[in-house]
Amino acid sequence: MLVTVRCRIKSKAIGFSTSAAANVVSQEWPGENPIQKDAEKFMKNTESKEQHCKNALPTCIEADYNSYRHLLQWCVNSRAIAEGQQVHAHTIISGFAYILFIANNLVNMYAKCGKIEDARKVFDKMSPRQSITWTTMVSGYAQNGPEEEALKLFARMQRAGMRLNNYTFPSVMKASAGIGAIQEGRQIHSCVIKTGFYLDVFAGSALVDMYAKCRVVEHARQVFDEMPDRNVVSWSGMITGYALNGQNEEALKLFGQALVAGVKPNDFTFSTVFSVCANATALDHGRQVHCLGVKSAFDLFTFVSSSLVGMYAKCGCIEDARQVFEKLPQRNIAAWNAMIIACGQHGRTEEALELFSQVELAGMTPNDITFLCVLSVCSHAGLVDEGQHYFDSMSRDYGIAPNPEHYACIVDLLGRSGRLQEADEFIKQMPMEPIASVWGALLGACRMHGNMELGILAAEKFSEMEPHNSGARVLLSNIYAAAGRWDEVAKVRKMMRDHGVKKETGLSWIVVKNKVHTFVSDDDTHPQAEEIYAKLRTLNDQMEAAGYVPDTRFALHDVEEEQKEVLLCFHSEKIALAFGLINTPMDTTIRIMKNIR
């Protein structure tokens, strides 16, 4: 079937260069093709490479199934939604919009371009629908949200008797993982088995990813071990699962097994492993993976670069992080963000703010994450005026609406500076409901400055939002303890017991000779415990001789003052430090990580 239609193309958002646009067209339609010739003629008539395409009326274009398919696919690849909408209008005029093949492509175009509501409108008008149509729509919801709609549509798809395939399951499992819907995920797992896709590598990899992101890592590992064939996605998903659940040693061990199995890591694998190395302060591992990545020629244009910068920064090697950043052939905004926050973490406030000023000079536009980084830098440096300036600049100069995390940064900024009433008023004036991190920032400031009244309010609000998070109640207990309100401390602890809320055990770990050593407070289980405590006593004597006086305000009230000092002397960070001093050469940098702070 071939029809002749007149197509009017408008592009106000994207500037095409004549040569680039003609090249795109020639790649899409090789050889002699009427639509290619007319498109090339249209592109060559644009005014210049720098200017946007103006209103233009090309000659009559002969359009068939493949012409529309190529046009819509080009819109997807270019995220050219305005042009896609024009093609859609074009199909309506020509009568092609109501043909199943074209309608499927329209649903795909809208979903891939993030216009999920428009995709749904096309979907709802379609009759009949193919399995691929349902799968595309489910995938669109999984990618763009709301994920609940993906699960509902999957259930409707089954009731409609549609045939499920190995593309359907990964999409719906992605939706389950996105909202932590583990029960629905298990039901989908059963469906995978019943339909015979259990041995499929795509479905299996999606199951691993779903269980891992739902924090059921043992089930993820069971699926992984039972897979007859694994690809890099399967291995990366399992490594990510261990990383998400804080099992960094297992993640690094599995990465080593993947290399032995001949798996070639992709950019996502490298990014995940760099994050694992950062969280475990496994600098030696990180350097080795960096070398492997260079040999594998991973793409430094991608998100890997920001993970690599972050890894070196978190391991205390700010100069190495800066060196990686400076050598990037092209820096995306994620790399700039990583370097800004790295400088802030290392107390290089001026350098961090100077980097922010260079973002636009480099042709980048700051995004919401960039401003989170800058506000965090200002907060930790106590730069109240500067922080408020950047916060105001977001919407005024860049058109970025602050989200709740940006508001939390300002609350933290004001709170750290002791301006608690201002922080409270700022929360009251928020245009949206405060999230838990907002109240957490205020609560931490109240603990720091001893404001019990405001601290109680913040703790109550935080606990309402995250009832199983012990952090708020522990901080409230500390506020009462500092004020000598021991009866209130006892009430808070009883409330925690009654509600089954347990304080998270503080852990500190250190990597020595490629092995992770983990410690808890007053830990006597390590084989070198006797040496460690002897070293700690020596260090404590030296500290007291230098004038150190321990702050026992937040320690347990039912022990003597001398015992409080002993407890503070043997907390997990100090034990890890003593172990590091004993087992590393002189002048070695000691890197200690903690799970709570």
Please report, for the chain, the start and end positions of each structural domain, with discontinuous segments joined by +.
306-385, 403-504, 508-594
Burial label for 214, CB within 10 Å (0-12, 13-18, 19+), is buried
| pLDDT tens sequence across 117-174 | 999 999 999 888 889 999 999 999 999 989 999 999 999 999 989 988 888 999 999 9
Contact (Cβ atoms closer than 8 angstroms) between residue 338 and residue 311: no
**Can you tell me the mean pLDDT for 93-114?**
88
- Confidence band of 62 (pLDDT split at 50, 70, 90): low
37: Cβ contacts below 8 Å, ≥ 6 apart: none
**Lowest pLDDT segment from 7-11, 157-161, 263-267, 592-596:** 7-11
Predicted local confidence at residue 369, as pLDDT: 96
pLDDT at 47: 35
Distance of CA 95 to the CA centre of its chain: 43
Average pLDDT over residues 447-451: 88
How far apart are the C-alpha atoms of 134 and 136, rounded to whole Å?
5
pLDDT of 2 reads: 32
- The model's pTM is 0.73
Q: Which two tokens stand for residue 323?
A: 């060196």
Predicted local distance difference test score (pLDDT) of residue 51: 33
Tens digit of each residue's pLDDT (9 = 90 or more) over 6-15: 343 333 333 3
Rounded (10°) CA dihedral 482, 487, 491, 497: 80
Q: Mean pLDDT: which of 262-266, 404-408, 465-469, 530-534 is highest?
A: 404-408
What is the reported pLDDT for 57? 26
Q: Does pLDDT of 393 surpass 90?
A: yes
187-191, 263-267, 521-525: lowest mean pLDDT where? 521-525
In this prediction, residue 209 carries a pLDDT of 92
pLDDT band at 324 (very low <50, low <70, confident <90, very high): very high
Work out the pLDDT band at 567, boundaries 50, 70, 90: low
Contact assessment for residue 208 and residue 241, using Cβ atoms and an 8 Å cutoff:
yes
* Residue 186 identity (one-letter amino acid): R
**CATH number corresponding to 403-504:** 1.25.40.10
Question: What pLDDT band is residue 91 in, cutting at 50, 70 and 90?
Answer: confident
The pLDDT of residue 49 is 27
